[in-house]
A and B are shown apart, each in its own frame.
Chain A
Amino acid sequence: MNEYLRNLAPNHQVAALFLIVFGVLVIVSTVAFLLTFRERRNPVHDETWQRELLHFLTLLRTTWFMVVVFWIGWALGETVATLLFALISFFALREFITLSPTRRGDHRSLILAFFVVLPIQFWLVATARFDLFTVFIPVYVFLAIPVVSALADDPSHFLERNAKLQWGIMVCVYGMSHVPALLLLSFPGYEGKSAFLVFFLVFVVQTCVLAQHLISRRSTMPSDADAPEPEHKPGLFGKVGRWLFRQEPVAPNVSHSFNWISWAIGMAIASVVGALFSFVTPFKFGQALAVSLIACVAGSMGHLVMKALKRDRGIPNWGQRGVGVTGANGLLDRVDALCFAAPVFFHSVRWYFDA
């Protein structure tokens, strides 16, 4: 089987990969759909169960959406893929700006950010100008934005406003543009398979976020479902579970669920999964483990940072009411880990492998 896959042309390998992913998704979706008909005898259990299932179904829908997007991107070639990421970056930046208050004087800077900086950055990626695209935003835009802002003649909260804008561009445009940039890395003997690298990164980071989320969710679960928990003797397994899942949050003001244990488990799971997928990458097993770990640490920490930001803006949890006041329905939530992981992953790989 493995031999057969290796002998396929790169194109067919990618196609096979998508086929497998779609197959798994169809199976999982079918099972989840059938589960919606199931009814628990205990009404309290039933309610929690239904809520969990609903949550899972939303996650599943996001996964479907992302896979389809990637499939379209791959099927239509690198330029379209870059365009696709540019669009995602546009939506993410839109969401970011919506959540950070701007003043009238920022208008021109915002126009610059959306309609000049973003297209140029992705154009630089599409045309493979590596030397320029890594410095364009940190060097040139870093000066351009405050200059335009200063010309608007509004000094109030000047540093704050410009810092927010620069930060938003760094995360949503600079970070995101490193994902399609992976398509352009060239490893010896790995031509035409760069799409795998993008898949690898997205898959590993998504796995890490998902694993961490599920584990920490379990640890916060009892707070809202304390009463119905049946009191039976905790066995060894229960004790281990209790130790694993009853951790205090490290930064409760930022995130109720983040704690080091579940973080470490999430890291470990995602890195191992990444290492197991090393056959689609130009890396060896150990190398894949290392780069996955790097991507996961960057991604999960970035996710935490964005959580702090959301808390500051007064949007504690996206999931609670579905839609925030601004109508920002959480695209940034889905991609923030990727935005932080991609530049770190890109540069460490490029540096180490000299690709």
Chain B
Amino acid sequence: MLAKFTGWVLLVVIRLLTGAQARWWGCPPKAEQRIYFANHQSHLDLVMIWAALPEELRSITRPIAARDYWANTPFKRWITTEVFNAIYVERGGSAPVPVAETAPAPPTERIDPSFDAVVQTELPLAPPVAEPAPSAAPGSAEALAPLQPLIEALQSGDSIIIFPEGTRGHTGEPQKFKSGLFTLAQMFPEVVLVPAWIDNVQRVMPKGEVVPVPILCSVTFGEPVQLDEGEERRPFLDRAREAVVALRYV
């Protein structure tokens, strides 16, 4: 009851500030099992896409939330589990394989001087994860462990919302996608993969600010992407990323 009320109040506030408009450009809103994958620029992305979905879909769609941010106070923990019905995931270890591929290159695309504490604690973790990577083939138990909560949600028939970049971007260009999306697409071939572009959210509340500013945001849902027969991991992830980026200008 309280959760419902909070959700309703939150919706009104979000609509007032951002409009939270959903643009179903490539597919209609439909109650089939889906994986929505979107660009990630702000912690509010989760709230935005939640608010943009129609009421009927909201109850069967579970966004993923980074545990280090969304579970660090009792209130955030309550609102994520009760109102958003989110799934917690651990960040940092979710995708060993792409990290291994890009390991020789200096990690410039991930480091920015103004990164906040959350990401900085994550950085020291990255190299150790990269080391044993070659042995952790996709689909192995090691690689699947962080995806376990998502797999459970999909097995129980829910739709999920994921941000395959893993961390929030800074430049506006989405970073390379991590392999979680590929693994899930392999495991659940019948689930529809819907790309989504969340626009303007980073302007509403930049990092380090607490008061949101009213700016219109929209979520554009694109044409579903399929994993082709025998398609490799990297080409598929790049294609999925292209599909998200393409929605920016429609």
Interface string of B201-235 (1 = CB under 8 A from A): 00100100101011111100000000000000000
Chain A residues with CB below 8 A from B200, complex form: 98, 326
Provided the pairs A325-B199, A326-B200 are in contact, do residues A107 and B209 lie with their beta carbons within 8 angstroms?
A: yes
Question: Is A90 an interface position by the 8 A CB rule?
Answer: yes
Per-residue CB contact flags for chain B residues 14-42 toward chain A (1 = under 8 Å, else 0) read: 00010101010000000000000000000
A302 to chain B, nearest CB (A): 22
Instruction: Determine if A141 is an interface residue (Cβ-Cβ < 8 Å).
Output: no
Give A320 Cβ to nearest chain B Cβ, in Å. 14
Contact present for A326 and B214 (CB under 8 Å): no
Contact of A98 with B215 in the complex, beta carbons under 8 Å: yes
Q: Looking at the assembled complex, report how far the CB atom of B219 sits from the nearest CB atom of chain A, in whole angstroms.
A: 9
Count of chain A to chain B residue pairs whose CB atoms are closer than 8 Å in the complex: 47
| Complex-state Cα separation, A115 to B199, whole angstroms | 23
Q: How large is the interface on B (under 10, 10 to 19, 20 to 34, 35 or more residues)?
A: 10 to 19
Secondary structure call for the A interface? helix
A97 contact from B206, B215, B217, B249, Cβ within 8 A: B215
Determine if A110 and B216 form an interchain contact, defined as CB atoms under 8 angstroms apart.
no
Instruction: Determine the residue in chain B with the shortest Cβ distance to A102.
Output: B203
A115 and B218 contact, CB distance less than 8 A: no
> Is A213 at the interface (CB under 8 A from chain B)?
no
The residue on A at minimum CB distance from B22 is A327
Give the distance in Å from the alpha carbon of A110 to the alpha carbon of B206 in the complex: 12
Tell whether, in the assembled complex, residue B216 and residue A115 are in contact, meaning their CB atoms are under 8 Å apart: no
Among residues of A, the one whose C-beta sits closest to the C-beta of B250 is: A325
Quick check: is A164 within 8 A (CB to CB) of the other chain? no
Partner of B216, one of A98, A107, A114: A98
Query: Distance in Å from the Cβ of A280 to the closest Cβ of chain B?
Result: 34
The answer to the question of A111 belonging to the interface, with a C-beta cut-off of 8 Å to chain B, is: yes
Bound form: Cα–Cα A328–B18 in Å: 10
Known: A325-B199, A326-B199, A326-B218. A107 touches B213 (CB 8 A): yes
Contacts of A323 in B (CB 8 A): 21, 23
Q: Roughly how many angstroms separate A114 CA and B215 CA in the complex, as a whole number?
A: 10
Whether the Cβ atoms of B211 and A328 lie closer than 8 Å is no
Interface-central residue, A93, A104, A329, by most chain B CB under 10 Å: A104
Kindly state whether residue A217 has any CB partner on chain B within 8 Å.
no
Which of A98, A110, A325, A327 is the most central at the interface, judged by chain B CB atoms within 10 Å of its CB? A327
Instruction: Select from chain A the residue with minimum beta-carbon distance to B209.
Output: A107
Q: How would residues 316 to 331 of chain A score, 1 for a CB under 8 Å from any chain B CB and 0 otherwise? A: 0000000101111100
Partner of B19, one of A90, A102, A327: A327
Beyond A114-B213, A114-B214, A326-B217: 15 further Cβ-contacts under 8 Å?
Answer: A90-B214, A93-B214, A94-B216, A97-B214, A97-B215, A98-B200, A110-B215, A111-B211, A325-B199, A325-B218, A326-B199, A326-B218, A327-B23, A327-B217, A327-B218
Chain A residues at the B interface, C-beta cutoff of 8 Å: 90, 93-95, 97-98, 102, 104, 107, 110-111, 114-115, 323, 325-329
Which residues of B pack against A, CB within 8 Å? 17, 19, 21, 23, 199-200, 203, 206, 209, 211, 213-218, 249-250
9 contacting pairs across A/B (C-beta < 8 A): A93-B214, A94-B19, A97-B215, A102-B203, A110-B215, A114-B214, A325-B199, A325-B249, A329-B21
